[in-house]
Structure 1
């Protein structure tokens, strides 16, 4: 059994200008997915495109919005609202006052990934080499 606290997740946190991602489980845990708590900082907008991963996101705290740039549409996010990027949609996630979301990635992230210029994460092989950018 894997049990981790918020403090444990701080060890693998990615703290960027627009967000903080605390990574609770990663590929090394062998679950097939990774779980992250991500805080979108106030007034920030993140343009992303997970070409190599699928992501499911549940809003836990605060408010924001998700805009689908691939298929169209924009939805308000508040606690209890979930969205899933089932077709690798390009999207914009934003929050005026700050928002905390729970994110699940498949395949699981390795840990140190950060968004590239297109807002995507690379896909790593089991030996740590990059399979796809």
Structure 2
């Protein structure tokens, strides 16, 4: 059995900070679950371009409000916008390119990735994570 507490991740190498987000990696590849789980904060008033071309991701909002806007193959906004609020889940089941915005407060999401993250990834220039073996 694996038991972890969010507080145990703070200020470790699995407490990963980006310019617009902070991802606390709760379950990672080495835990052997076949997926990873994060507790992620997206800073209020920010917009982040993301394209997880190497991962599938599902996010469940537990705090704050925001929106996801889909992007086309060039990374341009499509105008297709989905509102995110507590109790909302969104799944990027087609490696969807998108913009994530936190609107009313910091947006807090529980995110699951497949394949699992190792715990130290940050977005590269095209908004994705590399698969680390």
SS at structure 1 position matched to 2:126 = coil
1:90 aligned to 2:97?
Answer: yes
Q: 1:81 aligns with which of 88, 93, 96?
A: 88
Stretch deviating more after TM superposition (89-98 or 9-18): 9-18
Tell me the secondary structure at the aligned position of residue 123 of structure 1: coil
TM-score (norm 2): 0.90
Q: Which runs of 5+ in 1 are unaligned?
A: 126-133
Moved more, 114-123 or 64-73: 64-73
Higher RCO by CA contacts (8 Å cutoff, separation 6 or greater):
2
Indicate conservation of the 8 Å contact 1:8/1:24, yes or no. Answer: no
CA distance in 1, matches of 2:9, 2:44: 21
**CA contact under 8 A between 1:20 and 1:38: conserved in structure 2?**
yes
**Native 8 Å contact 1:58 1:80 kept in 2:** yes
Q: Which runs of 4+ in 1 moved over 4 A?
A: none
Aligned residues, how many?
A: 125
2:8 aligned with 1:8? yes
The CA distance in 2 between the partners of 1:70 and 1:27, in whole Å, is 30
Q: Deviations over 1:31-57 (max 9, x none)?
A: 000000000011111100000000000
Pairing of 1:1-133 with structure 2 (within 5 A)? 1-10=1-10, 11=12, 12-70=14-72, 72=78, 73-96=80-103, 97-125=105-133
Cα distance in structure 1, aligned partners of 2:9 and 2:58:
19
The gaps in structure 2 that reach 5 residues or longer are none
* 2:30 alignment partner, SS class: helix
